[in-house]
Amino acid sequence: MLPRPDGPQGRLIVALDTPTLAQAEALAGPVAPEAGLLKLGLELFCAEGPPALARLRGLAPVFLDVKLHDIPNTVAGAIGALAALGPAMITIHAAGGPAMIAAARKAAEAAGAARPMILAVTVLTSLDAATLRAIGVEADPVNQVIRLARMALEAGADGLVCSPREVGPIRAALGEGPRLVVPGIRPAGSALGDQARVATPEEAVRDGADWIVVGRPVTGAADPAAAARAIVASLPR
């Protein structure tokens, strides 16, 4: 049985979107005791590699957001290599198809009981209906999200990464089983940055998010640990 978050603090994933490990560690030190997980993304992982994961994992469980998408054999090999580094969650693209997703799950299971959760990304929020048509997808974005989500879960994904506005439709279509990890979160009153469609931490959890991913509202705050604490305090018990 895969974990669900253990209390409000366990729900908070802080995104460390920094170009260097030194900057990530400077943020992670004070923030990790206030959060459930730390998100290590593609930029930092490409720059600093496995040592970044090892260092951050010493502070909190790590959500490794690398969005793998390749032939099944290659993704299985990559998941096997990454699982050995001990992340709690790894992302793949649902668009890689059922065989790729099944191969990812199988490779994760080879890591044993403490295996990483495999989370599927459906339609990137940077893709609108016009862009989807440009790559040959005629479906409405939300229908495409549900279609890919259902396929990914049937193929073996443990959960999904989705936007706050997708949480309700996904729960309605696919039930309470899938683990949902939700970025695009802004505490009331904080700057939107480049996020257009957001929810507050409380709204996202009430709608059915298991974990929320928050970057700049924490990492850009004058006191990141206090910002993380305030978000956790705002979550339903």
The site for ligand C5P (CB under 6 A) is made up of 15, 17, 39, 41, 125, 163, 183-184, 193, 195, 213-216
| Cβ 219 to ligand C5P shortest distance, Å | 7
Whether residue 139 contacts residue 85, with contact meaning beta carbons closer than 8 Å, is answered with no
Residue 136 zone, left/alpha/beta (φ > 0; ψ -120 to 50; rest): left
Q: Is 67 annotated in the active site?
A: yes
H helices of the chain, where?
7-11, 21-31, 42-48, 50-57, 72-83, 98-109, 129-134, 141-155, 164-174, 201-207, 216-219, 224-234
Q: Which is nearer to ligand C5P, 103 or 125 (CB)?
A: 125
Catalytic entry in 23, 25, 45, 67:
67
Position closest to ligand C5P via CB: 215
Output the smallest distance, CB 110 to ligand C5P, in A: 27
Nearest approach, Cβ of 115 to ligand C5P (angstroms)? 23
Closer CB to ligand C5P, 107 or 181, in the complex: 181
Whichever of 31 and 76 has its CB closer to ligand C5P, that residue is 31
Distance CA 233, CA 237 (A): 9
C-beta of residue 99 within 8 angstroms of C-beta of residue 76: no
Task: For the CB of residue 189, give the shortest distance to ligand C5P in the complex, in Å.
Answer: 14
Cβ nearer to ligand C5P, comparing 5 with 183: 183
Neighbouring residues of 228: CB distance < 8 A, sequence distance ≥ 6: 12, 14, 31, 34, 35, 214, 218
Give catalytic residue positions: 67
